[in-house]
C-alpha cells in the first residue's frame, strides 16, 4: 500500500539548503507555498529563483508583513530557517533577549495558530540547546503548548551526517500532542573536503568564478610554513599537513614555537609583501603584552573543517588547484545541487548567503525524521519538552531537569 503523500510549506527559507534537503527526503517534492517577511527577500531570492527557473514551480511566495490575512492552507509540515545571529557565538548581537530572536517567535505563532501542521520545525545556533539559549527555547515551548504542541531540541553536527564540516547546530521540532519526539541518531563517516574540491568545473557555469582572485602563494605566512616543511608547491604542503591549517596560527604557534621575531626575520630576508610583515609585527606586539592575537586568515583545506562561515569562503585555499575557492565549490561544500545558482548578476556580492544556510545532507536527515513523526513511526518521550544530543545520545527532560550545560553538547 502506497504511503500517503506528505505536504509541506516553508517560512523564511533564506538561501534554501534546508528546503533542498526536504526535496531530497521527499524524492523531489516541492513546497505547497513559501511564506516570509520582506526583510528576508534578498536572502530568499536564490531559492525562489531556483524553484521558478529550474523546477518551474507555480506556488505562492508571500510576505506576511505585506499580506497578514493570507489564507495559508493546511499542510503536514512547515519548516523555517530564521536568522541565528541572536544566539550565534560569532555575532556581537548574540543574547537570549536579542531582537533577532523575534523571528523564531513570530513564525511559530503564525504557523501554529493559522496552519496547524502536524510538525513545525526549524534550525538555529547550537546555543539554543544550552542554558544560554534556554529563555529562547522556553518561549518557543510556551508558544507550542498554547497551541497543543510538544517540543524537542536536537543538537547535532554536520560531520555526523557525512559532511566535511563540523558545523554544530540545533534543530527544534514542535509536534502536535503531549509527547515530544525522540529522533534517531546519525553517525556517518564525514567526506573529506578535498573530495569536493577535486570535482571538475561545469562548462559555462556562471558560478565558476573565484571568490578571491589573489594568488594564495603571495601570503607570507603560507610561504613561511611551506619553507619550514621544505615544500615548494601547495600540493606538496597539503600532503605534509594532517588537517585544515590556518597558516597564521601554524606559523606563529607551531613552526616558530610562538616566536614571531623568527617569522618576521624570515619574511624580511625573503622579501614577502609588507602587509604580512606588518601583521607579524602586530602579533609580536600582542604576545609581548601577554595578550592573544587574531589568528584567522588564509586556510589550506583538508579533511573536516570547523564550519563554512564568516571569512572562510574568502580565505579558504584549494590546494589541489593552487587557488582560492570558486562560488560553485562553496555551494558544493554546502551540498547545494549543481543546477543551483546565486540569483544575482554579481554572485560575489551574495557569497555570505551560502554560509547562512543548512547543509542539504543534514537537512535531508532531519526531514526524514519529520516524515517519521507525521506517519506515527517515531519514538515518543513521556514529556512535552526534551533536549536531545546526536553527539553523545544524552536526553534531558526539561520539564523536570533543565540543567545541561554548553559543555555537554560542544
Residue 3 confidence (pLDDT): 64
What is the sign of the dihedral through the CA atoms of 75, 336, 389 and 143?
Answer: negative
Give per-residue pLDDT as tens, 274-304: 999 999 999 999 999 999 999 889 999 999 9
Q: Under 8 Å CB-to-CB from 94, ≥6 apart: which residues?
A: 85, 86, 87, 88, 125, 127
- State the cell numbers at 244: 585544515
375-401 average pLDDT score: 91
Q: Rounded to whole angstroms, how far apart are CA atoms 196 and 330? A: 9
User: Which of 166-175, 227-236, 306-315 is the least confident region?
Assistant: 306-315
- State the cell numbers at 176: 502536535
Residues 50, 16 contacting (CB under 8 angstroms): yes
Q: What average pLDDT does the structure give for the chain?
A: 92
8-state DSSP, 210: B
Tell whether the model's pLDDT for residue 96 goes beyond 50. Answer: no
Higher pLDDT residue, 122 or 100?
122
Per-residue b or e along 62-87, where b marks 16 or more CB atoms closer than 10 Å to that residue's CB: bbbeeeeeeebeebbbbbbbbbbbbb
Q: Rounded to whole angstroms, how far apart are CA atoms 215 and 218? A: 6
Residues 181, 165 contacting (CB under 8 angstroms): no
Q: Rounded to whole angstroms, how far apart are CA atoms 171 and 85? A: 15
The 3-class secondary structure across 284-337, one letter per residue, is HHHHHCCCCCCCCCCEECCCCECCCCCCHHHHEEECCCCEECEHHHHHHHCCCC
Tell whether the model's pLDDT for residue 79 goes beyond 60. Answer: yes
Q: Rounded to whole angstroms, how far apart are CA atoms 366 and 172? A: 10
Residue 402 confidence (pLDDT): 41
User: Which of 77-86, 216-225, 394-403 is the least confident region?
Assistant: 394-403
Residue 233 confidence (pLDDT): 95
- State the cell numbers at 283: 602579533
Residue 97 confidence (pLDDT): 52
User: Which of 132-141, 146-155, 169-178, 321-330 is the least confident region?
Assistant: 132-141
Residues 115, 150 contacting (CB under 8 angstroms): no
Give per-residue pLDDT as tens, 255-265: 999 999 999 99
8-state DSSP, 345: S
- State the cell numbers at 280: 607579524
Residue 2 confidence (pLDDT): 52
Give per-residue pLDDT as tens, 133-147: 899 999 999 999 999
Q: Rounded to whole angstroms, how far apart are CA atoms 353 and 342? A: 9
The percentage of residues in the chain with a pLDDT greater than 90, rounded to a whole number, is: 87
Q: Which residue, 289, 292, 312, is CA-closest to 300?
A: 312
Residue 99 confidence (pLDDT): 67
Phi, psi values for residue 144, rounded to 5°: -65, -50
Q: How many CB atoms lie within 10 A of CB 165?
A: 24
DSSP-assigned states of every residue in 123-191: EE-GGGGSGGGHHHHHHHHHHHHHTTEEEEEEEEEGGGBT-SB--EEEEEEEEESSS-EEPPP--BPPP
Q: How many CB atoms lie within 10 A of CB 90?
A: 12
Q: What is the dihedral of CA 345, 350, 351, 353, to 10 degrees?
A: -140
User: Which of 2-16, 274-288, 310-324, 345-359 is the least confident region?
Assistant: 2-16
Q: Rounded to whole angstroms, how far apart are CA atoms 85 and 95? A: 9
In the β-sheet with 323-324, what is the strand arrangement from edge to edge?
245-246, 299-300, 316-318, 323-324
Higher pLDDT residue, 5 or 26?
26
Q: Rounded to whole angstroms, how far apart are CA atoms 160 and 157? A: 6
Amino acid at each position: 500500500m502506497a504511503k500517503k503523500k506528505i505536504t509541506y510549506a516553508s517560512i523564511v527559507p533564506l538561501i534554501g539548503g534546508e528546503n533542498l534537503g526536504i526535496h531530497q527526503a521527499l524524492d523531489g517534492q516541492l513546497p505547497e507555498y513559501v511564506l516570509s517577511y520582506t526583510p528576508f527577500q534578498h536572502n530568499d531570492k536564490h531559492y525562489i529563483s531556483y524553484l521558478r527557473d529550474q523546477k518551474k514551480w507555480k506556488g505562492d511566495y508571500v510576505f506576511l508583513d505585506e499580506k497578514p490575512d493570507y489564507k495559508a492552507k493546511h499542510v503536514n509540515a512547515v519548516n523555517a530557517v530564521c536568522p541565528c545571529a541572536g544566539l550565534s557565538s560569532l555575532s556581537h548581537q548574540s543574547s537570549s533577549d536579542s531582537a533577532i530572536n523575534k523571528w523564531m517567535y513570530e513564525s511559530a505563532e503564525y504557523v501554529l495558530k493559522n496552519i496547524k501542521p502536524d510538525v513545525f520545525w526549524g534550525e538555529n545556533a547550537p546555543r539554543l540547546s544550552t542554558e544560554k539559549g534556554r529563555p529562547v527555547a522556553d518561549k518557543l515551548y510556551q508558544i507550542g503548548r498554547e497551541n497543543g504542541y510538544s517540543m524537542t531540541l536536537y543538537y547535532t553536527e554536520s560531520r555526523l551526517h557525512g559532511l566535511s564540516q563540523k558545523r554544530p547546530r540545533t534543530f527544534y521540532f514542535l509536534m502536535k500532542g503531549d509527547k515530544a519526539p525522540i529522533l534517531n541518531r546519525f553517525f556517518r563517516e564525514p567526506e573529506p573536503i578535498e573530495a569536493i574540491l577535486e570535482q571538475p568545473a561545469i562548462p559555462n557555469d556562471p558560478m565558476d568564478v573565484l571568490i578571491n582572485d589573489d594568488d594564495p602563494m603571495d601570503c607570507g605566512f603560507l610561504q613561511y610554513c611551506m619553507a619550514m616543511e621544505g615544500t615548494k608547491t601547495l600540493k606538496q604542503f597539503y600532503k605534509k599537513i594532517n588537517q585544515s591549517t590556518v597558516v597564521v596560527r601554524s606559523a606563529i604557534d607551531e613552526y616558530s614555537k610562538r616566536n614571531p621575531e623568527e617569522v618576521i626575520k624570515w619574511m624580511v630576508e625573503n622579501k614577502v609583501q609588507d602587509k604580512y610583515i606588518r601583521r607579524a609585527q602586530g602579533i609580536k606586539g600582542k604576545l609581548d603584552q601577554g595578550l592573544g592575537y587574531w589568528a584567522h586568515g588564509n586556510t589550506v583545506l583538508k579533511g573536516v573543517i570547523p564550519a563554512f562561515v564568516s571569512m572562510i569562503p574568502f580565505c579558504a585555499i584549494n590546494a589541489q588547484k593552487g587557488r582560492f575557492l570558486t562560488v560553485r565549490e562553496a555551494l558544493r561544500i554546502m551540498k547545494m545541487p549543481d543546477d543551483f545558482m546565486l540569483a544575482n548578476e554579481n554572485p560575489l556580492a551574495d557569497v555570505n548567503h551560502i554560509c547562512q544556510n543548512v547543509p542539504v545532507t543534514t537537512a535531508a536527515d532531519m526531514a526524514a525524521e519529520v516524515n517519521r513523526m507525521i506517519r506515527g513511526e517515531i519514538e515518543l518521550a513521556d514529556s512535552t519538552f526534551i533536549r536531545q544530543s546526536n553527539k553523545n545520545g544524552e536526553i534531558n527532560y526539561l520539564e523536570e531537569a533543565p540543567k545541561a550545560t554548553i559543555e555537554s553538547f560542544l
